[in-house]
Structure 1
Amino acid sequence: MSAEQNHGLEKDAGPAPGPHPQATHAAPNGNSTLSPEEQSRFGYGPLSHVNTKEAVLRPFGGEFQPGLYKSVEQRKFANPAPLGLSAFALTTFVLSAINMGARDITAPNIVVALAFGYGGLVQLLAGMWEMAVGNTFGATALSSYGGFWLSFAIVLTPGGFNIEGGLIETGGEAMFYNSFGLFLMGWFIFTTVLLFCTLRSTVAFFLLFFFLDLAFLLLGIGYIQRDSAGAPNPPVIKAGGFFGLMAAFTAWYNALAGIADSSNSFFVVPVAHFPWSPTGRARRQKTERETV
């Protein structure tokens, strides 16, 4: 990767707040200075060529971090965020496609396997590793949505806890639909709480929770406000499925941002910063200095 490309990446990421000393370690060949590639302290994503020595890093969806956070240079764990994001994205993609009526599939039974094995178990494990690396937001979000998929699978598992069958036996399908609608509305409230924590992050990170929030809201409404036949409202359910698909693809985008680096990719995934984000403010201050 050329020096010009490195300069462009550093310009896109913006200078990190706080102390940002230049690297002074000796290079392996004995030189007193390091090349731009050797100065890299952040091995992946749009910040892969920012010297994070004793620095605070910018919000980054690939790390599932909505706010400023400390350097990860010395940690001994890999970044668990892309794994959790990928598990969430694939399971959400399949369920949302079914909600939109893809291939005339009317029952979401195939999602049960994904919800147990990938969206549930794997995402829960990723959330626990986020706890280990000190990412409170990532641990809360990934672990919670892992729990969502596990509980979703339990509800839809034939036999088992007999949740769906028990509700239908007690009060008919209306009771099950109302109960499931309240279940989804609860997750809408939780996602709204997380959404507030992404307002100073990147656009891609914010959109992930924005689309997911709309998906939960519409699906909850679709189950509570049913059609004339007493079934979940088809147009509203399809709308929820559409925003679920958008959330899935946005989650994959953030996962790619956390995986792609100079060792495995010819490009770095770009990130868009809000004007009021730390990077946006730093760019405005730089422009003001340059125009003086």
Structure 2
Amino acid sequence: MQEQNTAIRDTTANPAPLGLMGFGITTVLLNLHNVGLFDIGSMILAMGIFYGGLSQVIVGIMEWKKGNTFGTLAFTSYGLFWLSLVGILVMPKLGIANPSSPTEMAFYLAMWGIFTLGMFFGTFKANRALQFVFGSLTLLFFLLAAGDITGSSQITTIAGVVGIICGSSAIYTGFAEVLNETYKKTVLPLFSVK
């Protein structure tokens, strides 16, 4: 009896653009708050729960199914970041937790900065667009932490500008992946690493 090997080809869609859009749009909206355009309200909280949070967790699970460890860790973690951030903001209002102090928030944000710096090193074999997303996100987390620990509204405003740039770069990367795949050519460059 002769053995046969069967190869199963993955024909499922690329989930990364959904995760990049969920992250990018939610990041831009939160950082419009950080630059002082508006207060945190239901719009930002809802985006944090659903598009920034839930959608990225789903994308992370989809990336796991595709065997992409980096995508699994990144999307699932940042989805849970958004959900935890909403919890930090909402739980005190519901009377089920005390508000976090600026020092606590600084440590929370700094830990996410350290995590993101590690993930940034994981982008070195990807493309420049993704490197920019993770590099600017690392800077954003550390600036937000610095703004909280010092109480400096100027640092928080600078962080907001960096956050708008970071979120916009994630949106660009998501659109580039979709358009390049749809048109089967480079419509928006991702700047491949050679």
TM-score, normalized by length of structure 1?
A: 0.60
**Separation (CA, whole Å) in 2 of partners of 1:149 and 1:262:** 28
The structural deviation recorded for 1:197 is: 1.2
TM-score, normalized by length of structure 2?
A: 0.88
* 1:152 counterpart = 2:77: no
1:162 to 80, 96, 105: 96
Q: Aligned AA for 1:125?
A: I
Contact kept? 1:181, 1:220, Cα under 8 Å: yes
Note closer, same or farther for the CA distance 1:132–1:262 as it changes in structure 2 (3 Å cut). closer
Q: Aligned AA for 1:177?
A: P
What does residue 69 of structure 2 align with?
136
Contact kept? 2:173, 2:190, Cα under 8 Å: no
The CA deviation string for residues 102-138 of structure 1, in whole angstroms up to 9 with x for no partner, is: 2xx2335531111111100011101110000111100
* 1:119 counterpart = 2:38: no
What does residue 85 of structure 1 align with?
20
* 1:202 counterpart = 2:127: yes
Note closer, same or farther for the CA distance 1:117–1:161 as it changes in structure 2 (3 Å cut). farther
What does residue 247 of structure 1 align with?
166
Note closer, same or farther for the CA distance 1:204–1:160 as it changes in structure 2 (3 Å cut). same
Q: Percent identity?
A: 32
**How big is the alpha-carbon RMSD for the aligned residues of Structure 1 and Structure 2?**
2.0
More helix by share: 2
Aligned residue pair count: 186
The CA deviation string for residues 9-35 of structure 1, in whole angstroms up to 9 with x for no partner, is: xxxxxxxxxxxxxxxxxxxxxxxxxxx
Structure 1 alignment gaps of length 5 or more: 1-72, 168-174, 227-232, 281-292
Note closer, same or farther for the CA distance 1:263–1:218 as it changes in structure 2 (3 Å cut). closer
The CA deviation string for residues 219-268 of structure 1, in whole angstroms up to 9 with x for no partner, is: 00100112xxxxxx111001111111111111011101211147469962
Contact kept? 1:115, 1:149, Cα under 8 Å: yes
The CA deviation string for residues 135-189 of structure 1, in whole angstroms up to 9 with x for no partner, is: 11001000000000000011111633633xx14xxxxxxx611111111011000
Structure 2 alignment gaps of length 5 or more: 1-7
